Structure 1
Amino acid sequence: MADLLVRGGTVVDGTGAPPTPADVRIRGGVIVEVGPGLAPAGGAERVVEAGGAYVAPGFIEAHTHVDGAMWWNPDLDPLPAYGTTTVVFGNCGMSVAPLRESARGPVLDLFCFLEDLPLSAFQDKVPWTWERWPEYRRAVEGQAVSVNVAGFVGHLTLRTTVMGAEASWGRAATGEEIAEMAALLDESLTHGAIGLSTNVFDKDRYLKPVPTRLAEDAEFEALADVLARHPGATLQLITRFNEPDNIDADVERFARICKPRGIRAQWTAIPSTVREDYLREQTIALHRRLRADGVDFWPNVPHKPLEPFFNFERALTFQRVAAWNHWINGPAETKLATLADPQWRARAREDWDNRVSSSTSRLDRPESLILAISETGHGPLGISLKEYADREGLHISDALATWIGHNGILSCLRGIPDAFDEPVVAGLFAEPHTLTNINDSGAHLQLFCGSGENVYLLTRYVRDTGLLSVEQAVHNLTGKLAGFFGLGDRGVIAPGLAGDLVVFALDEIEVRPEEKRYDNPDGSWRFTRGPAGVRATIVRGVPTVLDAEPTGERPGTMVGLVSPPN
């Protein structure tokens, strides 16, 4: 923590109030003064000039998977360079605590499969000096990182650590097991966890439903009872958001559990693409119905079109086509030979033709998949998978197998970004009970770089289209998120709150292109971005970015549920 004065800027305080010229003084990592014309105190106080720029609360990342990366990439590049000062992890039902050693193997295998993360890095670089949350919190507080972190307890982790892998994947929990889960959750919330994340959507690498999909209402109710005893604790729901027949039923199931207990929850998701207008109407109607019924549920709303890369080293993008899913997650040394095997090709064609359709899957839209990167240089490049299949007179599955065979396993496809219904998205962000900045930072390392989507809200929706005011956008990235998560000591610029700030000018910032960086502990690469151009990012009074460049400072710590000051 440090003493610092940011002067000469225009404060956007995170509440949604209009910008106003003001200086901000931080002492001991906490804001102590906000007002115009504050004089430098001298001594150890550092001065950051903000003339011609906005001064906002540090941005909050609402959905990350940096649970592992914080140990092997403590700078958490590129988050500081995009104004981030606090991140939420433990999402999608997966956390690294509370986690018994006996359950670590299956939990990490699932975690790394679902989030496209290097398993060996988790095994070798995470210290594993804990099994329960109190020890975990002490370990995290002892790890110097560039941002503050707040964590959910993952229900998948909780269930597996109590029941063991075989039982957790195989049956409903007993009353004794439910009681043990509830006790571990209660202990975790008492020692700083911010809530519970659960998942009734995913399947594992063997296409079996993840353990939480076997949980009965009695299990969810017992865990909800625990959440209700901890003011501010929230529930995250990963529901079957891409299955129109199941969206309402999944969310309404949890609404019945949460409403009488007064629990606040977030749910996935109101889709933003023009192509999914029918689903958007359905989910907006669900959102309106729940709010009118007094259910404190907040839907997630994406704001940036995704332009993913599809690699063939390991991924979950082919889950709905069993032969391809087994191939892509199988041994590397047999992959090319398998692609040429007539029997495998016949099975792959059958699985492709009999897959379950999905509103979010690009496998159903081969015209949107571009042949983008070739390991061998064979090509062709720059045309869609559908164009290639039509040109060669091949089934789509055979066309993909042929192209990979010629171009190599390290080749990639690129997904054309979908058009967003931006006026509708902006209208949802103007509402008080919606969440954004749900971008999977720290996950899917070779699919995309989620970090930086916060800046897109400022450049596209504020600067380029005028669909949002700067105060609306900043509120959605700061005070609104802090209020939802129960992080009452941050997200707003006011005396007594966290000294976390970002200084930026709209004409100086941009979401930079993705670039490969070979710095994972196992030698593999990940996507990152160059700095966005924010002038300063400040965590607990310490600049992690200054003059648009990272400083290398790591002042972050673990934060938890805090009631806002009176």
Structure 2
Amino acid sequence: MLELDLVITGGTYFDGTGAPGVVTNVGVRDGRVVVVSPAPLAIGAATKVVEAAGQWVMPGFVDTHTHYDAELQVAPGLNESVRHGVTTVLVGNCSLSTVYSTPLDIADLFSRVEALPRPHVLAALEGAKTWSTPQGWVDALEQLPLGPHVASFLGHSDARAAVMGIGRSTDPDQKATKGEQAEIERRLEEALDAGFLGISTMTNPWDKLDGDRYRSRSLPSTYSSWKEFRGLSRVLRRRGRVLQGVPNLNKKYDIGFYLATATGLFRKPLKVSLLAAADTKAEPWVQGIFAPLAFIANRLGRGRFTWQHLPTTFRVWADGIDLVVFEEFGSGREALHLREEMGRNELLNDEAYRRWFRRDFDKRFSPRVWHRDFDDAEITESPDTQLIGMMIGQVARDRDLHPVDCYLDLVVEHGTKLRWKTNIANTRPEIQDKLINRAGITIGFSDAGAHLRNMAFYNFGIRLLNRVHQAQSKDKPFMTVEKAVFKLTGELGEFYGIDAGRIAVGDRADIVVVDPAGLSDAVDDYHEALMPEFGNMSRMVNRNDAAVAATIVTGEVVFERGVFADGYGRTLGTGRFLRAGEGRGTVAPVRRLGLEVAQ
């Protein structure tokens, strides 16, 4: 027998199918799992050994909702995901991709919506974009020293802006002509031919453009007619691909379109993945509708509909007024429209503006995502250190002010040096436990690579495993470990039609080794780290190196006990572009020093 490249010894092995774990040894050669056996495996002179006794060996996590599109070009290792066991990421979400549009248009499409530093997004694309087609994007991607594997949607806003021009595509008085709609569909076909998963769309109007040309217009996809959306669905249905969508988070009526287009009555069903199944503090009753709606679409309508769900508390941080939730009402959008602090302060001090903000804030029955409760708004950083740890609502009572006036005073006084946090959703453990177990609800919405100062859910998989492990330790289980692994891996690979999420014999060896002894409440702790690729900005990150013993991509141990492999993401590339529907166990050569090394 040929010598094994890697042996993982004595761990509890979960294959990603939902089967119970078994204590066994795993052998890897040429990037694939070649043996799974309770018997000891031969260790050769060059065999790498990962000791996994008492630990869980499972497929690498699949992160289905990221916005790494620009970061890939400057930091292709995607370290912040891989260090938490993610071996496959999906990009091109929320109608945004970097395929067809110019670097300037891409920077305007991405930066404000995803809270990314526009100058660095623009620089990343101007320095790298040599492509103008989906296949060109794939070819360029595969020249990078990728860490994890990458699959992609085509962004509808990207394609629409490229066909119509970003100005016309964001003008409410302009609709795509018959010829333009045909060209958008042709470009979708071109992307599907290159192996893209499908298309991502957006109907939420409070996601806005950045830049100076069309600042504060909504994304191009939001201006599409239902006829245009139906045309895209027909292409996807015929090709057996996926529609990813974000509904109008204020009115929510267009959820009906996504449910209906997924159904398979008298036709082929369409896979639809929609944001987001969450137990929001603003509308706690809404969590009860997700499972019934999925049941109607899938069981009664014979469809393939899923909600995306983040399996942890959705907590966000803000610097001053820089937080996407303010986009959901007019006065908040007006403040975010102004980029310069001096201009903002003049606005925030204006009494007429304050009255407007108070009216928006006090509307009791308006649809919302943010609860607008300053008693759940804790100050974490401030030049006035006496404020740290206080709720803004309490500061308002101490100062005998309306909460809005108190908040705006603090922003005017301290600007972005006033940092505060609030809980948006998933704060009730018993509801979380029910949601994650519902049919039609899959794991997603980490938003990895976006909102760099606002939130960090790179370790969503570890957080779910921690919840599962702690519940079992207290004899109050809500989910088995094997089901949690399935939901983080195999279920997602199967739904999106990619070769990921399983590690039986013959599968590509994308593996994470999790040490349950390292699972604790510390996985939720707050951390920051500098991001050299984006001008040394300090981004929010996660750190749970005691929980992730090893991350393995294509049979290479790229991260082990807090340390990345030499050259990882720079001269060592282990990932590849995952094409929709390609065969099981596809392996590309690992790249070292820019050279392909045959395996």
- TM-score, normalization by structure 1: 0.91
Aligned residue number for residue 469 of structure 1: 480
Tell me which residue corresponds to 2:556: 542
Contact 2:312 2:464 in 1 (8 A): yes
- The aligned runs of 1:65-144 (5 Å cut-off) are 65-97=67-99, 99-101=100-102, 104-126=103-125, 127-144=128-145
**Alpha-carbon distance in structure 1 between the residues aligned to 2:490 and 2:131:** 32
Closer, same or farther: CA 419–313 of 1 in aligned 2, 3 Å: closer
C-alpha deviation, 1:24, in angstroms: 1.6
1:48 alignment partner in structure 2:
50
- Aligned with 2:27 (options 25, 28, 42): 25
Deviation at 1:106, TM superposition (A): 3.4
Q: How far apart, CA to CA, are the structure 1 residues paired with 2:435 and 2:583?
A: 25
For residue 119 of structure 1, report the CA deviation from its aligned partner: 1.2
Residue 22 of structure 2 aligns to which amino acid in structure 1? T
2:418 is matched with: 411
Contact 1:112 1:119 in 2 (8 A): yes
Give the residue type in structure 2 aligned to 1:13. D
Q: Please report how far the alpha carbon of residue 402 of structure 1 lies from its aligned counterpart in structure 2 after TM superposition.
A: 1.1
- CA drift at 1:177: 0.8
Structure 2 CA distance for partners of 1:379 and 1:77, relative to 1, 3 Å: farther
Deviation for aligned residue 1:317: 2.5
Helix, strand or coil at the partner of 2:230: helix
Alignment CA distance shift 1:544-1:323 (3 Å):
same
Taking a change above 3 Å as real, the CA distance of residues 548 and 39 of structure 1, as seen in their structure-2 partners, is same
Q: Confirm or deny: 8 A CA contact 2:18 2:482 kept in the other structure.
A: yes
**Offset of residue 63 of structure 1:** 0.7
User: Secondary structure of the residue that 1:408 maps to in structure 2?
Assistant: helix
Question: Where does residue 513 of structure 1 map in the other structure?
Answer: 525
Distance 2:426 2:193 in 1: 44
| Further displaced range: 143-152 or 165-174 | 165-174
**Residue 309 (1) aligns with residue 321 (2):** no
Q: CA deviation at 1:545?
A: 1.2
Classify the secondary structure of the residue corresponding to 2:324: coil
Report if the CA contact (8 A) 1:442-1:450 is conserved: no
Q: Retained in 2: the 8 A contact 1:463–1:506?
A: no
Could you list the runs of 5+ residues in structure 2 that have no partner in the other structure?
210-214, 586-599
1:277 is displaced (CA, Å) by 4.2
List alignment gaps of at least 5 residues for structure 1.
none
User: 1:142 Cα shift?
Assistant: 0.9
Deviation at 1:395, TM superposition (A): 2.6
- Once the two structures are overlaid, the 10-residue window that deviates more, 19-28 or 346-355, is 346-355
The answer to whether the aligner puts 1:526 opposite 2:539 as a matched pair is yes
**SS of residue matched to 1:260:** coil
Task: Give the C-alpha shift of residue 430 in structure 1.
Answer: 3.9
Equivalence for 2:195: 192
Note closer, same or farther for the CA distance 1:546–1:40 as it changes in structure 2 (3 Å cut): farther
SS at match of 2:512: strand
Among 415, 440, 455, the alignment partner of 2:462 is 455
Q: Is the 8 A contact 2:370 2:424 kept in 1?
A: no
C-alpha displacement at 1:110, in angstroms? 2.5
Instruction: Classify the secondary structure of the residue corresponding to 2:487.
Output: helix
In the alignment, the residues of structure 2 paired with residue 247 and residue 283 of structure 1 have an alpha-carbon distance, to the nearest angstrom, of 14
| C-alpha contact 1:29 1:499 (8 A) present in aligned 2 | yes
In structure 1, the residue matched to 2:597 is none
Which of 50-59 and 306-315 deviates more?
306-315
Measure, in 2, the Cα distance between the counterparts of 1:257 and 1:176. 29
CA deviations 1:26-72 (Å, max 9, x no partner) are: 22212222222242351433221111111100111111111111222
Residue 183 (structure 2) pairs with residue 176 (structure 1): no
Quote the residue 1:492 is aligned against: 502
TM-aligned CA distance change 1:457 to 1:190, over 3 Å: same
Q: Distance in 1 between matches of 2:400 and 2:113?
A: 34
Q: Distance in 2 between matches of 1:354 and 1:121?
A: 38
Matched positions, count: 557
Which residue identity does 1:119 align to in structure 2? Answer: R
Shift, 1:151, TM fit: 0.7
Which deviations, in whole Å up to 9, do the C-alpha atoms of 1:49-96 show, x marking residues without a partner? Answer: 111111100111111111111222333232122111111111111111
CA distance in 1 between partners of 2:359 and 2:156 (Å): 35
The Cα offsets for residues 150-197 of structure 1, whole Å up to 9 and x where unpaired, read as 111011111111111122112221111111111111111111211111
Give 1:129 shift.
Answer: 1.0
**Kept in 2: contact 1:379–1:407 (CA 8 A):** no
1:99-153 Cα distance to aligned partner (Å, 9 max, x none) = 133xx43342131111101111121123011111111001111111321111110
- Matched residue of 2:181: which SS? helix
User: Aligned partner of 1:466: which letter?
Assistant: P
> In the superposition, relative to structure 1, how do residues 94 and 257 fare at CA in structure 2: closer, same or farther (>3 Å)?
farther
The 1:285–1:242 alpha-carbon spacing in structure 2 relative to 1, beyond 3 Å, is farther
Cα distance, 1:483 vs structure 2: 0.5
From 567, 571, 580, the equivalent of 1:561 is 580
Structure 2 residue identity aligned to 1:236: Q
- Residues 542 and 565 from structure 1, CA distance in 2 versus in 1: closer, same or farther, beyond 3 angstroms? closer
Deviations 1:344-391 (A, max 9, x none): 4445445545698344213x22221122211x2254232222222232
- Would the aligned equivalents of 1:224 and 1:261 in 2 still touch at CA under 8 Å? no
Q: TM-score, normalised by structure 2?
A: 0.86
Residue 297, structure 1, aligned to residue 300, structure 2 = no
CA distance in 2 between partners of 1:548 and 1:40 (Å): 27
Question: Residues 51 and 332 from structure 1, CA distance in 2 versus in 1: closer, same or farther, beyond 3 angstroms?
Answer: same
Letter in 2 for 1:403: L
Computed over aligned residues only, the root mean square deviation of the Cα atoms, in angstroms, reads 2.6
Contact 1:448 1:514 in 2 (8 A): no
Distance 1:517 1:548, change over 3 A: closer
| Match 2:492 to one of 475, 481, 497 | 481
Paired residues of 1:531 and 1:549 also in contact (CA < 8 A): no
Instruction: Answer whether contact 2:325 2:369 (CA < 8 A) is retained.
Output: no
List aligned pairs for 1:375-390, cutoff 5 A.
Answer: 376-377=383-384, 379-390=386-397
Q: Measure, in 1, the Cα distance between the counterparts of 2:321 and 2:450.
A: 15
- Identity, in percent, stands at 26
State the SS of the aligned residue for 1:307. Answer: strand
1:270-290 Cα deviation digits (max 9, x unpaired): 323577442122232211111
1:435 matches 2:442: yes
* 526-535 vs 340-349, greater mean Cα deviation: 340-349
The answer for the alignment partner of 1:235 in structure 2 is 243
Secondary structure at 1:367 match in 2: helix
